[in-house]
A and B are shown apart, each in its own frame.
Chain A
Amino acid sequence: MHLKNSAINRIITDVIPFLPGKVKLAVLNLDKSILQEIEEIRLRAGKPVMLSCFGKDLILGEDGLVFTNANNGFTVTMDELSDMVFKICENSYYAYQDDINKGFITIRGGHRIGLVGTPVVENGRIINIRDISSLNVRIAREVIGFGDRIVKSIFKSSEDVYNTLIISPPGMGKTTLLRDIIRTVSNGIEGIFNGLKVGVIDERGEIAACFRGIPQNDLGCRTDVINGISKKEGMEMLLRSMSPGVIALDELGNPDDVSTVLQVMNAGIRLIATAHGYDVDGLKERRGFSELFNEHCFERFIAISVNNGFQYQIKVMDGEGNVLSVDCKDRRQPLNFRELNDGRLYIFPKAHREDRVHQGDTIILDGSGK
């Protein structure tokens, strides 16, 4: 398993240029071990700047040290947040107005900036968000190979796949898994699977992470992406125009989508989708799914859960709910992550951890960023 690009490089080139001056300096001074593991940078007007890292909230100090005590942090102003948003919008609010109204903007590299403030509403529709008070910079990470071990279980033959639903609670990596499956289905695997044309409907810009129309994530050579459109409209467009073998989409579950999903399946197109949930049974009674279950639409279920605190469990089941395989992976949080001490982080990485975290000998990081 490897990252497509260095996580640190991506943060430095894609994210840091937009940050307010003192946040930029502090982030650049962070220990590289922390910098490469940042999941979110939280900026709230008048509140300490925070990082989400290793599943914990860390307070960012001006000198790049991190703390658990909010008193050691520094704050940003509403004007700084407003300037940051204008910069993210490339000095052009109009070009990003729809994104602002939806509450997030995707930037180069697929990173997402969530924003909240006071929505301006006209005829029941949000037409702008003013007085932006909080920004959440979510760092995108493409984990190539995340689904390698289970993707073969959705191959029906060398030229066909099963209709598949990936189920997991939020934040467990179902979009990451979907992305990896799309890439493999699109590219194919020599001698095993020939590869199919995949149409992706990326309603929220999380799968392909398009920036100016270009997918920032690798989704394979036979993939067409429709960006920023509802799943229903997207499926209809793909059906009409792109003759896909597979349609992939994130977060199925809107009752309005059911008829189009059935239409897609009746047209002989396979569907690979994700859904928020904990297990198959929980979805069966939910509106937007019950009709699909009644029609026996899905032939494979992939359920992601967390086992023993820090281990992913990826379970593959057939359409009847029989378990076909179970795959376990370490989560990104180090098993022996130590508490912060005086703004410095001490990590003793385990040798078997994934290669995007330190491997090999024990490393003691002293806060110097080296």
Chain B
Amino acid sequence: MDLENEIHYMGRPLGQALLQFSQNRDTPLSKFSRRVYEISKDEEKGIDLAWQKCIDEFKNYWPIEHEEWALLSQIGDVLGKTDRASQSSFIKMMHGKFSLQEKKAEEDRTRKEKLYKNLGILGGLAIVLVLI
């Protein structure tokens, strides 16, 4: 069950929702959720502060762009602070934004792949010309 369901249908408080979301999964996001829960519980911090601290911890491990970190940070600021319907639509909206970022990254990768392929061909030709 994803985080939106945990919040919208189960109505679990955020800490419980993050813990539930992290269980039975082994993805980077589930690790992030569990860490937020742990920081919040162990350090008696609000979820928003725990979320930001967790971002700082994960910055060294996740190879994502500044824009994506900003989006993730925005989620921490809003989670828990509105009613169920608003939380649900916010999560959907952020999901859409992340999908867009993913698409952009994919396009970027394809473009760069082409570029490196062309560079490779040109480099090969240059070597051949030099050798001749």
Interface stretch, picked from A93-101, A186-194, A337-345, is: A93-101
Please report which residues of chain B, range 64-90, place their CB below 8 angstroms from some CB of chain A when the two chains form the complex: 79-84, 86-87
Specify which chain A residues have a CB less than 8 angstroms from the CB of B46 in the assembled complex: 86-87, 91
Please report which residues of chain B, range 32-86, place their CB below 8 angstroms from some CB of chain A when the two chains form the complex: 40, 46-48, 79-84, 86
Q: Name the residue on A nearest B87 (C-beta).
A: A94
**Contact between B15 and A127, CB atoms less than 8 A apart:** no
**Contact between A90 and B13, CB atoms less than 8 A apart:** yes
B54 to chain A, nearest CB (A): 14
Given contacts A127-B83, A128-B83, contact A94 B48 (CB under 8 A): no
Does A89 count as interface, using CB distance less than 8 angstroms? Answer: yes
B48 to chain A, nearest CB (A): 7
Does A92 count as interface, using CB distance less than 8 angstroms? Answer: yes
**Contact between A94 and B47, CB atoms less than 8 A apart:** no
Pick the residue among A86, A87, A94, A128 that contacts B11 (CB under 8 A). Answer: A94
**Contact between B84 and A91, CB atoms less than 8 A apart:** no
**Cα–Cα, bound, A92→B79 (Å):** 8
**Cα–Cα, bound, A26→B11 (Å):** 35
**Contact between A95 and B81, CB atoms less than 8 A apart:** no
Residue tally, chain A, CB below 8 Å to B: 13
Pick the residue among B11, B80, B83 that contacts A91 (CB under 8 A). Answer: B80
Q: Name the residue on B nearest A127 (C-beta).
A: B83
Pick the residue among B15, B16, B80 that contacts A94 (CB under 8 A). Answer: B80
Specify which chain B residues have a CB less than 8 angstroms from the CB of A128 in the assembled complex: 83
**Cα–Cα, bound, A328→B63 (Å):** 73
A24 to chain B, nearest CB (A): 13
**Contact between A97 and B84, CB atoms less than 8 A apart:** yes
Specify which chain B residues have a CB less than 8 angstroms from the CB of A87 in the assembled complex: 46
Q: Name the residue on B nearest A98 (C-beta).
A: B11
Specify which chain A residues have a CB less than 8 angstroms from the CB of B47 in the assembled complex: 91-92
**Contact between B81 and A93, CB atoms less than 8 A apart:** yes
Does B12 count as interface, using CB distance less than 8 angstroms? Answer: yes
A–B pairs, 29, beta carbons within 8 Å: A86-B81, A89-B13, A89-B80, A90-B13, A90-B16, A91-B13, A91-B14, A91-B15, A91-B40, A91-B47, A91-B79, A92-B13, A92-B15, A92-B17, A92-B47, A92-B80, A93-B81, A93-B82, A93-B83, A94-B11, A94-B80, A94-B84, A95-B11, A95-B13, A95-B14, A96-B13, A97-B83, A127-B83, A128-B83
Extra A-B contacts (13), CB below 8 Å, given A91-B46, A92-B7, A93-B82 = A86-B80, A89-B80, A90-B15, A91-B13, A91-B14, A92-B15, A92-B47, A93-B80, A94-B7, A94-B83, A94-B86, A95-B11, A127-B83
